[in-house]
Amino acid sequence: MSLMVDVVSDVVCPWCFIGKRKLEQALAELARAEPSVHVTVRWHPFQLNPDLPVEGLSRQTYVARKFGGIERAAEIYARVARAGEAVGIPFAFDRIVVQPNTVDAHRLVAWAQQQGDAGALVERLFAAFFLEGRPIGQAEELVRLAVDCGWPEEDARTMLASDALRDVVASESNEAIDAGIQGVPCFIFNGSIAVSGAQDPQTLLRAIHATRAAA
């Protein structure tokens, strides 16, 4: 018996990081209850800020524009930080200097996924940005993160230096919007039932069970 989980997300979305943790909890519970179920997780791009310049934007400028001021942004991120603590994510928003354009990060994930499981790379990208404040919009930084996950350095560098998978990222992002996805994360189970937002593990499990019952 198998379960396909398609996750639409952006690597600079804190709720996507939280949602990843909650999905992991749900799948761990599923594995305990039904160890014979084979689960495959696929990652799909969604750009929250498609109009950001290639070099990114000052984080302070970005949050001030997005939330209508630094103080309002601080209130919102304090709430996100509390949600992160509940699932073991020690967000360090103060370390982020640049809000990056995520096209290349999504291309890297798509490239890794073509060759195997991209889950470790997605986790590394989230951690690098939200915990370490690393510039994940820069190609050389992405190469380093790919190497951290066991991918060949020169292969990752060559891919990022090309236009490979740029059209795939654009196409999948547009498909998500056309499908009515307006925010992320969005979890789609066996291509039929979708759950939007960083929902609790039990909510995800109910969707999984409903998907399998309808099969």
Domain ranges of the chain: 2-48+102-214
Contact 174, 191 (CB under 8 A): no
Which residue positions in the chain have pLDDT lower than 70?
Answer: none
Query: Which pLDDT belongs to residue 1?
Result: 83
Contact 199, 20 (CB under 8 A): no
Instruction: Tell me how far apart the alpha carbons of residues 14 and 23 are, in angstroms, rounded to a whole number.
Output: 14
Query: Which pLDDT belongs to residue 44?
Result: 98
**Dihedral (CA of 114, 120, 125, 130) sign:** positive
The CATH number, out of the four listed (3.40.50.170, 3.40.50.2300, 3.40.50.740, 3.40.30.10), of the domain defined by the range 2-48+102-214: 3.40.30.10
Kindly report the pTM of this predicted structure: 0.96
Q: Tell me: the pLDDT tens digits for 62-101?
A: 999 999 998 999 999 999 999 999 999 999 999 999 999 9
Q: Tell me: the pLDDT tens digits for 109-131?
A: 999 999 999 999 999 999 999 99
Q: How many angstroms from the chain centroid is the CA of residue 182?
A: 15
Contact 205, 32 (CB under 8 A): no
Query: Which pLDDT belongs to residue 214?
Result: 83
Query: Which pLDDT belongs to residue 213?
Result: 87
Instruction: Tell me how far apart the alpha carbons of residues 15 and 22 are, in angstroms, rounded to a whole number.
Output: 10
